[in-house]
């Protein structure tokens, strides 16, 4: 299931996106944003852009796209690596220290979220065209969840957003963001990437914002599991937590995206 298409952002830059369509008429549309695990070392220069050489998305996000499509969603996964040095899919085997830390991870870290805004906007617009009579949701994992969280705060065109442990969401700036759509958040506890204190600070900050505005804040679920627990292939993968979080996300998305037929 699924195939790549090439889209154009409003600033004229082309990027690839993985598209999976349901077997029947779509119930709604989803845009999926992947984790930061697909990179090319900084000494490898990308070739000229074309539908074959532009970076794609990794195995985990392609599998999740097929899973959501089986639930009746048309799913689009834009390559968030199109504006960095990337193109190869390393999976989770490269580790997080030493040479890989400096040459594989860091080249993408300085890329600001604003640089990807045109990509996400174009993906949302395509998803809406692909399912014009339905609603559009956004789901992100890891770095993709941070992008989804920030998009939920400054884009009014989404009807539901799900964030799986967005690294950086617990920063002072991000925990104070006011989101414009119903949001569900899945967070680990006691992990070095998102310490318990930072997670609690995020929950408390959002509760305070909700109380002050009188509006419902994000629906937050905590898991006794490490960062990255939903991603198969990672050492941190924890099946029980992943299954529970996914079931909750499906219920949440159905509640906010799927229109009841009368």
Task: Go through the domains of the chain in sequence order and give each one's CATH number.
Answer: 3-257 (3.40.50.1820)
Give yes or no for a contact between 169 and 145, defined as CB atoms under 8 angstroms apart: yes
H or E stretch including 206? Answer: helix 196-213
Give yes or no for a contact between 80 and 34, defined as CB atoms under 8 angstroms apart: yes
The pTM of this model reads: 0.88
Tens-digit pLDDT profile for residues 153-175: 999 999 999 999 998 898 999 99
Give yes or no for a contact between 17 and 79, defined as CB atoms under 8 angstroms apart: yes
Give the strands of the sheet with 28-33, arranged side by side.
3-8, 14-20, 73-78, 28-33, 136-141, 160-164, 183-188, 219-223
Q: What is the DSSP letter of 171?
A: S
Instruction: Assess whether pLDDT exceeds 50 at residue 43.
Output: no
DSSP per residue, 99-151? HHIIIIITTTTT--HHHHHHHHHHHHHHHHHHSTTS-EEEEEETHHHHHHHHH
Give yes or no for a contact between 116 and 144, defined as CB atoms under 8 angstroms apart: no
Band of residue 86 on the pLDDT scale cut at 50, 70, 90: very low
Percent of the chain past pLDDT 90, that is, above it, reads 61
| pLDDT value at residue 115 | 84
Nearest to 75 by CA among 14, 13, 140: 140
Q: Which residues, 6+ apart, have CB-to-CB distance to 114 below 8 Å?
A: none
| pLDDT value at residue 235 | 85
Q: What are phi and psi of 95, to 5 degrees?
A: 80, 180
Give yes or no for a contact between 57 and 37, defined as CB atoms under 8 angstroms apart: no
Residue that the structure tokens 């996106």 belong to: 17
């Amino acid at each position: 299931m699924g195939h790549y298409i090439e889209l154009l952002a409003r600033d004229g830059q082309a990027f690839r996106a993985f598209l999976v369509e349901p077997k029947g008429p779509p119930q709604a549309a989803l845009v999926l944003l992947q984790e930061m695990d697909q990179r090319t070392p900084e000494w490898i220069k990308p070739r000229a852009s074309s539908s074959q050489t532009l970076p794609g998305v990794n195995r985990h996000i392609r599998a999740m796209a097929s899973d959501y499509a089986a639930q009746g969603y048309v799913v689009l996964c834009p390559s968030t690596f199109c504006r960095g040095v990337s193109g190869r899919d390393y999976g989770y085997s490269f580790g997080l220290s030493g040479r890989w830390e400096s040459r594989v991870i860091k080249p993408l870290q300085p890329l600001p979220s604003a640089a990807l805004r045109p990509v996400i906007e174009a993906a949302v617009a395509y998803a809406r065209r692909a399912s014009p009579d339905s609603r559009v949701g956004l789901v992100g994992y890891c770095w993709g969840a941070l992008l989804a969280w920030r998009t939920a705060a400054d884009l009014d065109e989404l009807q539901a957003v799900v964030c799986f442990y967005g690294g950086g969401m617990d920063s002072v700036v991000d925990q104070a963001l006011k989101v414009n759509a119903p949001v569900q958040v899945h967070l680990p506890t006691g992990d070095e990437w998102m310490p318990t204190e930072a997670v609690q600070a995020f929950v408390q900050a959002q509760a305070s914002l909700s109380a002050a505005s009188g509006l419902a804040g994000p629906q937050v679920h905590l898991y006794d599991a490490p960062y990255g627990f939903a991603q198969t292939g990672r050492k941190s993968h924890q099946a029980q937590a992943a299954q529970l979080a996914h079931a909750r996300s499906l219920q949440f998305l159905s509640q906010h995206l799927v229109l009841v037929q009368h």
